Amino acid sequence: MKDTTLLPPPEDELPHLWQKPTYEVLLARLKKLRVEPPVWNLHVSRTQILKEQAVTAHDRREIVSFLSTIIKSGLPWLDSDDEREMVWEEASKRMSERCGRTAMGEITRRWPFENHGDGDFSLAIREPPLTGDSLGLKTWGSSYALARLLHEFTTGPLAHLFLPGALAAPQEVLELGSGTGLLGLAAACVWKTSVVLTDLPVIVPNLAHNASLNQEVVDGRGGKVEVAALTWGGGKDDIDPMFWELNRYELIIVADPLYDDDHPALLATAIDEQLALNPDARVLVMVPQRDETTKGLLGNLREELARQPSPLLCMNENIVEGQDDWGDEHDDDEMQAVGFWWGVFGRGRSVLN
Ligand SMILES: C[S@@+](CC[C@H](N)C(=O)[O-])C[C@H]1O[C@@H](n2cnc3c(N)ncnc32)[C@H](O)[C@@H]1O
C-alpha cells in the first residue's frame, strides 16, 4: 500500500507539519494563501471582497493556526537555512496580511473603471499603513466617486475645455490634495491629458509610487502624470518650484479636501494662485456631505473662493450618492451612504444667483 503521508496534500488542503512537507509544497501553499488586493467598488464592501477571495475550504482560524505553527517550528527537515528563512518570511507576511488594516504593512487595491464610455481599465493604488493624521495615505470614497464621473464633464460643465482644437483645451490639469492619486490618475486616463498630482511633501513618495505603478495604463490611454509637492499655504520649501509661476492651470480638480477649519481658506488661496486668470478656467471640487461639519466647511470654501481678488463662483453643482468610509477603518461595514457634492467654479458670474 502507498504511504500517503509522503504525498503532498491535495491542492486545497493545508499540509500538516508532522508530514514534513517539502520546501516546494510549503512555499506553494503559503503563496496560495496570499490575500489578494481587494477590489472595492460602490456595491461591494471590502469585507465582502476579502471573504470572496479567502482561500476556499479553510476558515480564517485554521489558516492563522497553520501560519503560527510554521513560524514557531524550527523546520528541521528542510535542506538549508535559506529555505527555512524563506518559509518563515512568507508565513509572517501571510499572518500580517490577516491582521487589522493598520498592522498590514501596506495594501494595494485595484480600482475598476467600467462602462464609462471609453473602454474599461483599472488602476492599482498602494495605501501604506495609516500613521498619525496622514489622511493622504488612504483612498477616500469621493475620489472614486468623482473619478467615475469624469467622462460626463467633458460633454457637460467642462465641455468648453475639451472641444477638439479649442485654444483653451487643458494641456495640463492640476490636482490638489491628491492623496494616493486615484482621481488624478483616472483623469489622465479618461481625459487623455497631462495631470500634475500634488499633496504635502510627506505624501508625495507614495503618490509617486502609485504614478509609476500605473504608468503603462496611463500612457496606453494617451495620458501623462507628474507628481510634485504643493502645500496649500506652505512656504517655498513645501512647494515645488514648478508652481512658483502662478495662474498657469486651466483646470484644477480636488476631492475631499476639507477636514480642518483652516482648510477652506488655505485651499481657496492655493486655487486662486494656480488657476489661470481667464474666464474659461475651471475648478472641479467634490466634498462628501458627511455631517454638519463637512457641510459647514463647504460653505466656508464657497465664501473663501468668492472672496479671492478675482472671485471664483459656483457655476454648476450637484449631489451624487456614494459610499464613504470615513469611520473606523478596521470595520468595513462602517461604510456609509453619503451624498457627494460636486461643484464647478469659474472666474465668471454665478448662474445660481
Ligand atoms: C481626506 S484626504 C483626500 C485625499 C484624496 N483626494 C482622496 O479623495 O482620496 C485630504 C488630502 O488633502 C491633503 N492636504 C491636507 N492639508 C493639505 C495642505 N495644506 N496642502 C496640501 N495638501 C493637503 C492631505 O494630505 C490629503 O491627501
Name the closest-CA residue to atom 3, ligand 1.
256
Query: Residues, the chain, total?
Result: 353
Residue 174 is predicted with a pLDDT of 97
Joined together, the cell numbers standing for residue 272 give 486662486
Residue 350 is predicted with a pLDDT of 44
Instruction: Report d(CA 171, CA 23) in Å as an integer.
Output: 54
Joined together, the cell numbers standing for residue 62 give 485554521
| Contact (CB, 8 A) for 238 and 158 | no
Instruction: Report d(CA 182, CA 185) in Å as an integer.
Output: 5
Give the other-Cβ count within 10 Å of 205's Cβ: 11
How far away, in angstroms, is 266 Cα from ligand 1 center?
12
Instruction: Determine the atom of ligand 1 nearest the C-alpha atom of 233.
Output: 19
Given a cut of 70, the residues of the chain with pLDDT beneath it are: 1-12, 35-59, 99-106, 116, 129-134, 136, 165-170, 325-335, 349-353
Which DSSP string corresponds to 31-87?
HHT--PPPP-BTTB-HHHHHHHHS-TT--HHHHHHHHHHHHHS--TTSS-HHHHHHH
CATH code: domain 107-346 is 3.40.50.150
Beta bridge partners of residue 342, listed in sequence order: 286, 318
Instruction: Report d(CA 271, CA 268) in Å as an integer.
Output: 5
Ligand 1 pocket test target in 123, 135, 254, 301 with most atoms within 8 Å of CB: 135
Distances in whole angstroms, Cα of residue 213 to Cα of each of 4, 126, 193, 207:
45, 9, 18, 10
Name the closest-CA residue to atom 24, ligand 1.
136
How far away, in angstroms, is 193 Cα from ligand 1 center?
22
Residue 100 is predicted with a pLDDT of 52
**Which stretches within the chain are classed as H helix?**
23-32, 46-53, 60-72, 81-97, 141-147, 150-153, 182-191, 204-213, 215-220, 263-274, 292-306
User: What are the residues whose beta carbons fall under 8 Å from the beta carbon of 256, sequence distance 6 or more?
Assistant: 140, 141, 142, 143, 177, 179, 286, 287, 288
Domain with CATH 3.40.50.150 in the chain: 107-346
Place of cell 486668470: 277
| Contact (CB, 8 A) for 120 and 113 | yes
Query: Could you give phi then psi for residue 111, rounded to 5 degrees?
Result: -110, 115
How far away, in angstroms, is 289 Cα from ligand 1 center?
16
Ligand 1 pocket test target in 139, 146, 178, 230 with most atoms within 8 Å of CB: 178
- What is the β-pairing status of strands 313-324 and 251-255? unpaired
DSSP 251: E
User: What are the residues whose beta carbons fall under 8 Å from the beta carbon of 271, sequence distance 6 or more?
Assistant: 176, 252, 254, 283, 305, 308, 312, 345
Residues at CB less than 6 angstroms from ligand 1: 135-136, 139-140, 142-143, 177-180, 183, 199-200, 203, 231-233, 255-257, 259, 266
Q: Over the range 298-313, which residues count as b (16 or more CB within 10 Å of their CB) and which as e?
A: bebbbebbeeeeeebb
Smallest CA-to-CA distance from 294 within 322, 266, 267, 264 is with 264
3-state secondary structure of 211: helix
Instruction: Report d(CA 20, CA 31) in Å as an integer.
Output: 18
User: What are the residues whose beta carbons fall under 8 Å from the beta carbon of 353, sequence distance 6 or more?
Assistant: none
How many CA atoms lie within 13 Å of 38's alpha carbon, on the beta-carbon side? 20
Place of cell 488542503: 13
